[in-house]
Amino acid sequence: MATGVEANIFAALSSRLSDLTLNPALPIAWPNLQFPPEGQTKPREYLEVFFLPNRTVTRTLSLGHQQHRGIFQVTVHHRDGAGMVKPLQIADQIIAHFPLGLILDQSGVRVKIYRKPYAIPQPPQNGSVTVPVTIEYETYQP
């Protein structure tokens, strides 16, 4: 069980991503974990997660609740030469899996997706195409 606001936010968003069913399934490169596992070669198609919390803001004159906002970015890596349709379809499935207004609960921390996620395809580089999907979240905690 995660403790602390940021750890619970990451756990809630990661759990939601893990529940996404893609066909075929794609491995996920998680922050601060070896990818690919030792002895394996990097797959040609995979997802990569970045967790980018922003600064905490107090939204009242008293101590009140703290607003935690940030970005949970899921980047689709797809082999070069396969075109743009497939990686964009995968990005669209991620976007649909984190709809605007979605609320996730992790150990009492309610995380809300406050803006519709969006994808910005990047130019091909190092033999693959990347399509980062930006998922913006927020929560208010005492």
pLDDT digits 0-9 by tens, 103-142: 999 999 999 999 999 999 999 887 789 999 999 999 998 8
Q: Say yes or no to pLDDT of 3 above 90.
A: no
Count of domains in the chain?
A: 1
Q: Is 59's pLDDT higher than 90?
A: no
State the chain's mean pLDDT as an integer: 93
Residue 125 belongs to domain with CATH number = 3.30.2000.20
- Name which of 36, 22, 5, 24 is nearest 91 in CA terms: 22
Residue 118: per-residue pLDDT:
98
Q: Which residues contact 118 (CB under 8 A, 6 or more apart)?
A: 95, 133, 134
**What distance, in Å, lies between the first and last C-alpha atoms of the chain?**
20
Instruction: Give the domain range for residue 106.
Output: 5-141
Alpha carbon separation from 117 to 18, 42, 73 (Å, rounded): 17, 27, 9
Local structure of 122: helix, strand or coil: coil
Alpha-carbon distance 100 to 135, whole Å?
A: 9
